[in-house]
Amino acid sequence: MRINFKYLRPHSLNECLAVLATHGDESAILAGGTDLMISFRSGSRTPRFVLDISRLSEIRSVEQHAEVIKIGAILTYSELIAHPLIVKTFPALSAAMSCVGSLQIRNVGTLGGNIANSSPAADSIPPMMIHDAQVMIQKVNSVRIEKLERLIVAPYSNTLEPDELITGIILKPVETAYKQSYRRIARRKSLSIARVNMAVSAKLDAEGLIEDVRISVGSVAPTPLRIKKVEDSLIGLKPESKFIKETGELVARHIVDLVGVRHSTEYKRPAIAGLVIKCLEDVFID
Amino acid sequence: MNQEIPQDELADLEISFTLNGSQVRVSIKPWETALDTIRNKFGLTGAKEGCGIGECGACTIVMDGKAVNGCLVLAAQLDGRTVETVEGLSSNGTLDYLQKAFLDKGGVQCGFCTPGMLMSAKALLDECDQPSKDRITNALSGNLCRCAGYVQIIDAVEDAALIKSKDAENQAVNR
Ligand SMILES: Cc1cc2nc3c(=O)[nH]c(=O)nc-3n(C[C@H](O)[C@H](O)[C@H](O)COP(=O)(O)OP(=O)(O)OC[C@H]3O[C@@H](n4cnc5c(N)ncnc54)[C@H](O)[C@@H]3O)c2cc1C
Ligand code: FES
Ligand code: FES
């Protein structure tokens, strides 16, 4: 690689935060390295220090709290997909994590890295958004908790400061009455970036009408996003097949309105509509 | 780049890890990849650099029981770990189940992808005796082959799993 740096492996979270406090702006945080190593190779990042956080035990566990589940930032996709509580509680997220790259990538890649990299096509982000994900961010002597939707502001760009570390992700489980789906369209199944990806979570009331529905879409706008306006307009409706088809069109139109017509619109518009239909069928029609 | 950095900051690092069963110590550059170290410092040239960006799997090695891309791991990250490469598969000149099955089933053509394929398959069989075809496909999905064909390779892994577990059964019976 056309780069040189000093490699540091802090032994504790506090030690790591202390290094970030003094050298954050000239450091690169290394978790799984699946994005970072590529940017070293291409020369797009040339830090003075590389801070290996992959062994920090403080941020490698799944914790169940009364209302939320907290996922340590450096747990790998493979560890999470093998975690019974995660698989049971977050089926859409688990499905999304199984789509990431290849087994070799999933064996080292992390959720913290996926968030910090802030790709519009990140697979894990839409399924975290349907759980109103919050990101726990620490620096020396302080913790801030930011909504995932607010943290990512533009393609590959977020509000993380150089002295800050993502330490965990806080997800709200939903009741068992919810059904979820995650789907993506990509050129092939493995090792390809999603062209459209989508997570849906929904619940019907006793009469079979929609009581709650959450739809999050990736790869179609500068950042992955929840489409709350459309979600709200669906409450109280009956999810029949005609409705599902119309909702597909509605979501596609809404997104085109939001991001404007681009060179990819002609392809993406029907792709979005088609994917919405499939996801809604997954959750509403068994 | 980084001219103002004091030279001692860029000093070599000493790391130690278990490589194919032996404890090793080696001096590395902080920015060296695990793949470079294994190939250049230990002369283990089975793992190949195909793409260098995580997309082909030719560099696959097994670290603490998991298949990883050697091109995406820093050598420094090997410190304290257990590493297996294709060179560790055979023992005393006897091929491993997987190596035999790859030969029997025509899973090798040019051989460029083979060390990576074998190591992905090795990690799988160490974790699971009788993997389903889906599980095998999933485990090999990060390994590209441009010539032998995936059908033969997947066949070979199934075959190796079968023969290995039969042998294990026989051994248990004979004991
Ligand atoms: C071949 C290949 C295929 C891929 N396929 C997919 C795919 O299908 N879907 C997908 O979504 N992604 C994919 N990716 C991208 C990548 O694997 C993911 O984004 C992964 O989650 C990154 O995690 P990591 O731990 O490897 O991050 P790293 O590479 O270690 O870090 C990524 C960035 O985040 C920063 N960072 C990491 N952890 C933290 C933290 N805790 N706090 C603050 N900053 C942090 C790093 O400094 C760096 O800027 C692929 C990558 C490759 C090489
Ligand atoms: S050389 Fe590492 S994946 Fe291609
Ligand atoms: S045998 Fe040639 S690439 Fe697989």
Is 90 exceeded by the pLDDT of residue A112? yes
Torsion of CA A114, A115, A119, A121, to 10 degrees: 70
Nearest to B142 among A4, A6, A105 (CB): A105
DSSP B64-105: TTEEEEGGGSBGGGGTT-EEE-GGGTSBTTBPPHHHHHHHHT
Q: Do B54 and A5 touch (CB under 8 A)?
A: no
Task: Check if A122 has its Cβ closer than 6 Å to any atom of ligand 1.
Answer: yes
- Give the span between the Cα atoms of A88 and A90, in whole angstroms: 6
Ligand approaching nearest to the C-alpha of A122 = 1
- A104 in B contact zone (CB under 8 Å): yes
CA dist list (Å): B122 to A143, B66, B119: 42, 9, 5
pLDDT tens profile A223-250: 999 999 999 999 999 999 999 999 999 9
- Segment B102-112, tens digit of pLDDT: 999 999 999 99
Q: Which domains does chain A have, with CATH numbers?
A: 6-52 (3.30.43.10), 57-171 (3.30.465.10), 179-284 (3.30.390.50)
CB A197 within 8 A of CB A126: yes
* CB of A191 closer than 6 angstroms to any ligand 1 atom: yes
Identify whether the C-beta of residue A123 lies closer than 8 Å to the C-beta of residue A96. Answer: yes
In this complex, the residue of B13, B52, B120 whose CB is nearest that of residue A103 is B120
Interatomic CA distance for residues A28 and A8, integer angstroms: 10
pLDDT band at A101; cut points 50, 70, 90: very high
pLDDT in tens, B145-175: 999 889 999 999 999 999 999 998 898 888 7
Q: Which residue has the tokens 């087994």?
A: A103
pLDDT tens digits for B39-93?
A: 999 999 999 999 999 999 999 999 999 999 999 999 999 999 999 999 999 988 8
What ipTM, to 2 d.p.?
Answer: 0.95
Q: Which residues of A touch B67 (CB under 8 A)?
A: 103-104, 107
Q: What SS3 state is found at A190?
A: coil
Ligand nearest to the CA of A126: 1
Q: Residue B13 pLDDT > 70, yes or no?
A: yes
Q: To the nearest 10°, the Cα dihedral for B70, B72, B78, B83? A: -30
Chain-centre distance for alpha carbon A250? 24
Count CA atoms within 13 Å of residue A242 on its CB side: 2
Average pLDDT, chain A: 95
A3 in contact with chain B, both atoms CB, cutoff 8 A: yes
* Stretch A114-139: mean pLDDT: 98
Both tokens of B57, joined, read 């799997």
- Beta-carbon contacts of residue B158 (< 8 Å; ≥ 6 apart): B133, B136
Q: Using 50, 70 and 90 to split pLDDT, how confident is the model at B9?
A: confident
CB A165 within 8 A of CB A14: no
Pairing mode of beta strands A62-64, A69-72? antiparallel
Distances (CA, A) of A190 to A53, A194, B94, B105, B141: 27, 10, 34, 24, 6
Average of per-residue pLDDT across A2-23 = 95
CB of A138 within 6 A of ligand 1: the answer is no
pLDDT of residue B1: 42
Residue A58 confidence (pLDDT) above 90: yes
Nearest CA residue ID for atom 3, ligand 3: B145
Answer yes or no: is pLDDT of A82 > 70. Answer: yes
Reported as a pLDDT band with limits 50, 70 and 90, residue A194 is confident
Global pTM value: 0.96
Domain architecture of chain B: domains with CATH:
7-88 (3.10.20.30), 97-168 (1.10.150.120)
Partners of B142 on chain A (C-beta within 8 Å) are 101-105, 190-191
Report yes or no: A189 at the B interface, CB cutoff 8 Å.
yes
DSSP annotation string for B16-43: EEEETTEEEEEEE-TT-BHHHIIIIIT-
Secondary structure percentages of chain B, helix, strand, coil, to 5: 45, 15, 40
